[in-house]
Structure 1
Amino acid sequence: MSQMLDKAKNFVAEKLTTIEKPEASIDNVDFKRVSSDSVEYLAKLSVKNPYGYALPVCEISYTLKSAGRVIGSGKMADPGSLKASDTTLMEVPVKVPHSVLVSLAKDIGADRDIDYELELGLTIDLPVIGKFTIPLSTKGEIKLPSISDIF
């Protein structure tokens, strides 16, 4: 009996690993706006849904790091759903408090940019499998806002 149960488990595990899953990529991270307490950046994602029906996105979690430190993190609950058999463009706002930017003055230097690493977790509810998280990360430089961006 236990051999039959092991065979069934192996069969199910093999089938689940071959199931097509959504694919995602981070297209861009750019300045969005300045508020009284923070600077907001916008991460743009492309998510490809291979299924013929829409898939709900449960949440998107993010961590923004610079100089080895976390400068912004959070979650975006219930950001919508993925279009059926199509690529969905999603935007994730990332807030960085002004106090953190001031402490990064050494990294900013004369070129007015921040070296960053952005880690995202895109959690999707897949039928049969359940919640599935696609890990994404990118590195780059973000320009600090100029005076004309603020006013």
Structure 2
Amino acid sequence: MSQLLDKAKNYVSEKISDVAKPEASVTNVDFKRVSGNNVEFLSMVSVRNPYSTPIPICEIRYSFKSADREIASGTIPDPGSLKAKDTTMVDVPVKVPYSILMSLAKDIGADWDIDYQLDIGLIIDVPVMGNITIPLSQKGEVKLPTLSSMFA
């Protein structure tokens, strides 16, 4: 009986591995705004849904790192769904407290930007397969605004 179950599991695994899966990529990370307590960055994630039905996004988990340390992390619960047979742009806002930015002053002061690594886990509910996580990682640099550009 256990051999039969193993064969059935292998068969299903092979068939599911051939099925098209949603694909995602980080298209942009940029400065958004300065608020009372933090600086907010906005990352844009492009997700392609190959299925003819919308897929709900269960949650988005993110980690924003600079100078080899995590400076912001969080979870965005229930951010919406992916359009059927289309590409959906998903916003992932990242808020970094001023106190942490001040500790990065050496990196920021040299060229007025933040070198970053953004790790995102996009958790979606795929029919038949259940919840899957699409891992994304992006490295780059974000230019900070100057005082004159914020008040211009």
TM-score category by the smaller chain?
over 0.9
Separation of aligned partners in 2, 1:124 and 1:4: 31
How many residues were matched structurally? 151
Q: Report the equivalent of 1:54.
A: 54
Q: CA deviation at 1:112?
A: 0.3
CA distances 1:66-95 after superposition (whole Å, capped 9, x unpaired)? 000101100111111000000001111000
Q: CA deviation at 1:149?
A: 4.5
Separation of aligned partners in 2, 1:12 and 1:142: 44
Separation of aligned partners in 1, 2:6 and 2:92: 43
Amino acid in structure 2 at the alignment position of 1:54: P
Q: CA deviation at 1:111?
A: 1.4
Instruction: Indicate conservation of the 8 Å contact 1:63/1:118, yes or no.
Output: yes
What is the percent sequence identity of the aligned residues?
64
Q: Report the equivalent of 2:80.
A: 80
Separation of aligned partners in 1, 2:48 and 2:147: 38
Give the alignment's TM-score, normalised by structure 2: 0.95
> Aligned-pair RMSD on alpha carbons?
1.0
Q: Which runs of 5+ in 1 are unaligned?
A: none
Q: Report the equivalent of 1:104.
A: 104
Query: Which contiguous aligned blocks of 4+ residues in structure 1 show a shift greater than 4 angstroms?
Result: none
Separation of aligned partners in 1, 2:2 and 2:53: 37
Q: Which runs of 5+ in 2 are unaligned?
A: none
